[in-house]
Amino acid sequence: MARVAGVSQATVSLVMGEKWRGRVSERTAEAVRSAARSLGYRPNLAARNLRLGRARTALLVVPALTNEFFARVHTGAARVAAEHGVGVLLYPSPEGVGPARDPFASARATLDGIIASSMAADALAAIREGGLPLVMLDSDPQRAETAATVNFDVAEGMRQVTEHLLALGHRRFTHLAADVDSWTFHVRARALADALRRVPGTELHTEPAALAVADGLRAAERALTRPGARPTALICDDDILAAGACKAARRLGLRVPDDVSVTGFDDLSLATAVEPELTTVRLPAEAVGEAGMRALLAVLDDRPAAAHALPVELVVRGSTSNSPG
C-alpha cells in the first residue's frame, strides 16, 4: 500500500489508524485511502477497536423514520461515517420530544456517541446515561450538555420567505406553525414575527398544527374561514403543512396562488409533486448529516468542533404570486 501511494509505511499506519491529522496533509491521506481502495484493503476493525477502546458505532436519533428529510440526514451522516470505518445505527424517537428509550441494555457499552436531529435534548436522557458525547442537529446551540451543535440558518430562511411575500404586496399573513415544542420551530416563529413587525400595516395570525397533511388542511381551513379579512399568504413551517394548506384552498374554491399564496419549508420531494409547485426554503439535509458526523468524530478525537450554521436557500416556484389585494 505504501508503494502504491508513494509514501512511507509510517504514513500508511498514521492514515489507516486515523492519527494523521496535523501530521500529514489531507492530499496525502486521500492518496493512502485511494491506494487502500484500489488494493481491496479492509482493516481488522475488531483489533483496531480493541486497541482504541471504541465500538466504532454512532447512534443517529431522529423524530421519524418515514420523513424524507431525516432519511437525507442519515444519508449524509452515513457517508462520512463510512469514510472513517464507523457504523451508524438509526433510531426513532416519536415527535422528537421523547423520551427516547435506550435501544440496548446499555447504550454506553455499544456506542461511541450520539447524533440527534431536530429533537429536544431532554428526550435523550435515558440513552445518554454514562456521559456519551452528544452532537445536536437543528437544535438549541446553547444547550450546555451537548458536545457540539450543527444548525441550519432557519431564521434567515424565514426572513427570505417574508421578504419575498412582502415584495409581492402581501400584508395579511397566517403562520401555519408546527405544534412541536422544539428550538427550530420557535426560531422560525420569532424570525417571522420580527420581520413583519418592522413593516407597517401587516397582520399576522398563527394557527398551530401537527406535522401532517390532514392537520395542515384543518389549520388552513380555520385560517381561511375565520371572521374578518382573509389572509393573502399562508406561511407554513414545512412542506407537509403547505400541502395540506393547498388542499384546503382548493376545497374552499380558492386558487393558489391567485387567491392565496402558500409557502413551505424543507424542499422535500413533495414540494414539486403538488400543483402548483411549492415556493419553499431548501435545507441541505445531507450536508447537516455530514457535518454532524464530522463534529462527532472530532469530539471523539479530542479536536474542537465549533457550532456553526449551514446556509439555506429560498426556492421560488408557482405557489406564490402578487397579493390579490
Grid cell locating 72: 437525507
Q: What is the mean pLDDT of residues 294-310?
A: 85
Distance CA 191, CA 54 (A): 42
Could you tell me how many helices (H) and strands (E) the chain has, helices first?
12, 12
Q: Is the pLDDT of residue 1 over 90?
A: no
- pLDDT confidence tier of residue 44, bands split at 50, 70 and 90: very low
Q: Per-residue b/e over 49-79, b at no fewer than 16 CB within 10 Å?
A: beeeeeebebbbbbbbeebebbbbbbebbbe
Q: Average pLDDT for residues 240-269, to the nearest whole number? A: 97
Cα–Cα distance between 199 and 270 in angstroms, integer? 32
* Strand bridging mode 233-236 / 261-263: parallel
Q: Residue 199: CB partners within 8 Å, gap ≥ 6?
A: 166, 171
Give pTM, 2 decimals.
Answer: 0.78
pLDDT band at residue 271, thresholds of 50, 70 and 90?
A: very high
Q: Of 96, 103, 58, give the one whose Cα is nearest residue 76.
A: 58
pLDDT at 26 over 90: no
Task: Name the most confidently modeled range: 38-42, 55-59, 118-122, 159-163.
Answer: 159-163
**Which one, of 263, 205, 321, 243, lies nearest residue 251 by Cα?**
243
What pLDDT score does 9 carry?
A: 76
What average pLDDT score do residues 296-321 get?
Answer: 90
The yes-or-no verdict on residue 162 having pLDDT over 60 is yes
Cell of 70: 431525516
Whether the pLDDT of residue 218 is over 60: the answer is: yes
Question: Can you tell me the distance from the alpha carbon of 235 to that of 227, in angstroms, rounded to the nearest whole number?
Answer: 19
Mean pLDDT of 106-123: 71
Rounded to an integer, what distance in angstroms lies between the CA atom of residue 57 and that of residue 111?
Answer: 5
- Between 314 and 144, whose confidence is greater? 314
DSSP state of 279: B
